[in-house]
Structure 1
Amino acid sequence: MAGAAVLLVLVVALLPSPYAIEQPGPVYDTLGSAGAGKDRAPLITIEGEKTYPTSGRLDLLTVSVLGTAQGGPSWLDLAEAWIDPQKAVIPLEAVFPRGETQQQADRESAAQMTGSQQSAIAAALSRLGDDVGGTVTVGTVQRGSAAAGRLEEGDVVTSFDGEAITDSCSLQNAVLEHGARPATVVVRRDGATRSVRVVPKRVPDGSGGTRPLLGVATTAKIDPPFTVDLRIDDVGGPSAGMMFALGIVDRLTPGSLTGGRHVAGTGTICGDGEVGAIGGIVQKMAAARAAGATLFLAPEENCGEVVGHIPSGLDVVPVSTLSGAIETLEKVRDQGSARALPTCAAQVGSPG
């Protein structure tokens, strides 16, 4: 009887769970190269415009997710993750909304990365005085989502509830700010302009709450005055945007933004330079410190998750815009430390 009970416990422990595990992923220096052998190439390549030598590092961070649209890791894996401070256990639906296939999830993640790269280029060049324009096109519509039956693949989104849309990030932020209320989405479809009524649906956000979602994957296209190519393989999502933008600015301006320091950071970015919240901030801070970074730029909106989880030896400074991030780097470079700069503890009213 005891043996059967032990066997039953082991079987249950190995069953897939309805959760996913977030853990620190690979780190990439936007000022450096990635890949191996003949495939090794710079993360940022600029042609048709003068660039400048720089120094230091501007690392973008990633989070590895254990779990798929078909099921989460085993309960045994979860038990190990729950006691590991560098890992986080989140509902599987926060990563893979109900009804979404793995193929759809992969396509959406890749589209988010492509969109974030376009936004990074737009934000960086706009900061330097260039006009890049921008259009946002619907790539896929998730089955059962708010957009299903209303938006179509190929629709060019021009506005959301009266707000002009010029990149994928501005659409995402417009939906988040609007919430799960009826909204008018204006699109160009088959050469005609149409107004579509959509009610965003709330889905789990991974932190116990929910967020409004349209349920579309979009692609953004800009028209910069010269060529900027961003390369990063096998990484999805929008959280690399700010660090790519900083890397572009550093390459296009004399001197070094970092002053030779090892800097890391994370955050979405819109074409207007607004920096947004991301997931897995605790895991990314751990990865940054493990890679040798001493300064970390965090989205101001993530401050509540930052406080109490900062690794020893890492200074974390909150930022809300690309201009603010650049000013932070310049102050640290010129002053020699981040001691006089704002902290997340001050932002959320915590001591220290």
Structure 2
Amino acid sequence: MSSRARALAVCTALVLALLVTAALAPLPFSVAYPGMTANVLGDDKGKPVITISGAGTRKTSGQLRMTSIVATGPDASVHLADILKGWFRSDEAVMPREAVYPVGNNTEEIAEHNARQMKESQDSATEAALGQLGRSPKDVKVKLSLADVGGPSAGLMFALGIVDKLAGDGAGHDLTGGRTIAGTGTISADGEVGAVGGVALKTQAAGRDGATVFLVPRKECADARAELPRGMRLVSVTTLDGAVKALKALRNGGRVPSC
């Protein structure tokens, strides 16, 4: 064998070794999928998601569904083949692990962080909804219960659920208009709606569970359009007040902010 042939063989072996190593080595990514959705106007595991005391509540029709994603855990091994598969599938998304799990180094720490975020989100949703209606938290008590879900992204839907149960559209009708409406977005105590992650996967979860309308933070309209289920209408929101007005307009055939 000539020296040139030997050099070529050595280089080929090195390249193959690198490719095999890259294919087998775990990489710092997570793979996310459409998660569960839950109707905040209904029950979860036999308990009402929203329980209100100190004020009369309404019977509601239609659904307001919060949405979620699920992702491979912080300790899971994600390899090159998983990433390539995720890039070519519309129902999977490959994300840097630190984007999915920005806090905590193990499952327990992350679960505790997500639980704290969920509690803060519920408190903000309650304050925003009661402020929207001019009600005092001293007079109206709200309990929110949703098992196996963490993070702040259900805030908008919690707030809308409280508004619908207490006041509807203010004219004797449901905010939903009898529809199944899904959405996502954080909420601040003063009603500002914030961006979240995984919107394209959440629209798919919503479509799977029967939603025909999806409320999305305005900054994430492009992401929401990326894999939008056929027949689903996007409604762009920036505040709780804007979301309430958009749902009223949707029911009455008025102008609705779209993406």
TM-score normalised to structure 1 length: 0.64
The equivalences for 1:77-156 within 5 A come to: 77-97=82-102, 100-132=105-137
How far, CA to CA, are the matches of 1:295 and 1:306 in structure 2?
12
CA contact (8 A) 1:23 1:65 kept: yes
Q: Percent identity?
A: 42
| Bigger fraction of residues in strand | 1
Q: What aligned pairs does 1:18-57 form with structure 2 within 5 A after superposition? A: 18-35=28-45, 40-57=46-63
For 1:291 and 1:304, locate their aligned partners in 2 and report how far apart those are by CA, in whole Å.
22
Q: Once the two structures are superposed, what CA deviation does each residue of 1:253-284 show, in whole Å capped at 9, x if it has no partner?
A: 14311110110011000010110100000000
Counterpart residue identity of residue 105, structure 1: I
RMSD: 2.4
Return the offset for 1:6.
9.3
Residue 55 of structure 1 aligns with an amino acid whose one-letter code is S
1:227 counterpart (127, 134, 141): 141
| SS of corresponding position for 2:27 | coil
**How many residues end up aligned between the 2 structures?**
243
Contiguous gaps of at least 5 residues in structure 2: 1-14
Q: Which position in structure 1 is the counterpart of 2:221?
A: 303
Pair 1:287 & 2:205 matched: yes
Matched, 1:255 2:170: no
Mapped to 1, the partners of 2:83 and 2:26 lie a distance apart of 10
Deviation at 1:64, TM superposition (A): 0.3
**Larger deviation: 77-86 or 110-119?**
77-86
1:245 aligns with 2:159: yes
Q: Which moved more, 1:243-252 or 1:73-82?
A: 73-82
SS in 2 for 1:304: helix
Range with greater deviation from structure 2 (274-283 or 249-258): 249-258
Offset of residue 16 of structure 1: 2.4
Higher helix share: 2
8 A Cα contact 2:42 2:49, kept in partner: yes
Task: List structure 1 segments (4+ residues) > 6 angstroms apart after TM superposition.
Answer: 5-11
1:9 CA drift (Å): 6.5
> How much does 1:301 deviate?
1.6
- 8 A contact 1:20–1:73 mirrored in 2: yes
2:251 to 333, 346, 350: 333
Query: Where does structure 1 lack aligned partners over 5 or more consecutive residues?
Result: 133-223, 345-352
Q: Which amino acid aligns with 1:323?
A: D
Residues 99 and 312 from structure 1, CA distance in 2 versus in 1: closer, same or farther, beyond 3 angstroms?
closer
Aligned counterparts of 1:319 and 1:49: Cα–Cα separation in 2: 28
SS of residue in 2 equivalent to 1:325: helix
- 1:318 match: secondary structure: strand
TM-score, structure 2 as length reference: 0.86
How far does residue 303 in structure 1 lie from its aligned partner after superposition? 1.8
Q: 1:182 corresponds to which residue?
A: none
Residue identity opposite 1:241 in structure 2: G
Q: Is the 8 A contact 2:153 2:185 kept in 1?
A: yes
Q: How far did residue 334 of structure 1 move?
A: 1.3
Aligned AA (2:32): E
The equivalent residue for 1:146 is none
Which structure has the larger Rg?
2
